[in-house]
Structure 1
Amino acid sequence: MTKSKLSSAQQEELIGILKTRFSKHTPRHKGIDWDKVETRLQAAPAVLWSLNEMELTGGEPDVTGFDKKTGTYIFCDCSAESPKGRRSVCYDHEALASRKEHKPQDSAVNMAGEMGIELLTEAQYRELQQLFPFDLKTSSWIVTPDAVRERGGALFCDRRYDHVFTYHNGAESYYAARGFRGTLRV
């Protein structure tokens, strides 16, 4: 496998995984036709590579919507908890560089960029929580407004007590139970 491109066999395997998940979780994508999604995926090898990265890191990506304005299908990490392969990371590169010792291996913003996906915004996170109660034991970094980030902070969300909470922490912090969820359009 070369970066940004899967072999034909890998593409076929991934599409099979995505199709099975799509069929198993129909409430996430009411009114969306899998055949149209698959046609779009087959025409987008770079997107397939990114979806594979989401899968490999434990995100369990699935279709969660369709944007009528842009005509794109929206994929999002739908693992019950924050993806295992993306935990114990600080918020961004600046936060990572600021740590003098006990640095995490990476940052959420950097990993998302390398994977070709975007962190969820607070609104997207809350919308995802309408589909299923995610992050009952973990938390996920979300896109942080510049005004918060400029002061050294970053935002994350989780779900506790059947309520979605948004919190703040130092951007350089990292925890074994905090990762990030991503989204991708095709």
Structure 2
Amino acid sequence: MTTSPSSSKKELSLEQHEELLKLIKARFEKNMDRHQGLEWANVQAKLEAQTEKLWSLYEMERTGGEPDVVDHDNKTNEYIFYDCSAESPKGRRSVCYDHEALESRKQHKPENSTINMAAVMGIELLTEVQYRELQKLGNFDLKISSWVKTPANIRKLGGAIFCDRRYDTVFVYHNGADSYYAARGFRGSLRV
């Protein structure tokens, strides 16, 4: 998956559509421990019915997120996908937290921000709680860190938070929202 669909159309070609479903199905079947009791046929039916969500899932995959189903919300009948790549997605690193932080940088601005990228992709940034849920499914971000959704009171003061896993423990840290590093990206979620 190297090419990106037209971001203005947010539609996949038939080939991209079929390739993505095949890839997501293989990952789903390989990692049944992440979604015990769920059936692929039901997930696929939801994806087929919501092509804009399929496009978002494609963008998650294209940027290195390796999305997989991690839960099912019985109240809304939605399947929940998280980025399940071993490290924070490669195509979403070296970005500051949000547009305000990006604009505040006087020199050496990154190309984009986490919040902007997630919005364009049609996904939500993982919260700290969701990040901790993800870590119950495996060991993620052992070398890289991931921005997580920052509470408004922290962001108002110029900060943002990120997480990683070290010493078999999930850590939450802080940085200026305008900081960016090659070793920090972000993980997203998508409800279908």
Please say whether Structure 1 and Structure 2 have the same fold, judged by a TM-score greater than 0.5: yes
Deviation at 1:81? 0.1
Instruction: Give the aligned partner of residue 19 of structure 2.
Output: 13
For the aligned residue pairs, the C-alpha RMSD in angstroms reads: 0.6
Q: What secondary structure sits across from 1:19 in the alignment?
A: helix
Residue identity matched to 1:111: M
Query: Could you tell me how far apart the structure 1 residues matched to 2:90 and 2:14 are?
Result: 27
Q: Does residue 99 of structure 1 match 2:101?
A: no
1:140 counterpart (146, 152, 163)? 146
Question: What percent of counterpart residues are identical?
Answer: 66
Residue 2 of structure 1: CA displacement?
3.3
Which residue is 2:180 aligned to? 174
The corresponding residue for 1:60 is: 66
Separation (CA, whole Å) in 1 of partners of 2:53 and 2:32: 22
Partner Cα distance (2:123, 2:165) in 1: 23
**1:38 corresponding residue in structure 2:** 44
Is the counterpart of residue 90 in structure 1 residue 101 in structure 2? Answer: no
Gaps of 5+ in 1: none
**What is the one-letter code of the residue matched to 2:179?**
S
| Partner Cα distance (2:62, 2:16) in 1 | 12
Q: Which residue of 2 aligns with 1:116?
A: 122
| Runs (4+) off by over 2 Å | none
1-structure distance, mates of 2:93, 2:119: 15
* CA distances 1:115-172 after superposition (whole Å, capped 9, x unpaired): 0000000000000000001000000000001000000000100000000001110000
Alpha-carbon shift at residue 10 of structure 1 (Å): 1.1
State the secondary structure of the residue aligned to 1:62: strand
1:124 is matched by which residue type in structure 2?
A: Q
Alignment TM-score, normalising by the size of structure 2: 0.96
Structure 2 counterpart of 1:52, which letter?
A: Y
TM-score (norm 1): 0.99
Aligned-partner SS, 1:97: helix
Do structure 1's residue 2 and structure 2's residue 31 form an aligned pair? no
1:160 to 136, 157, 166: 166
Which residue number in structure 1 is paired with residue 29 of structure 2? 23
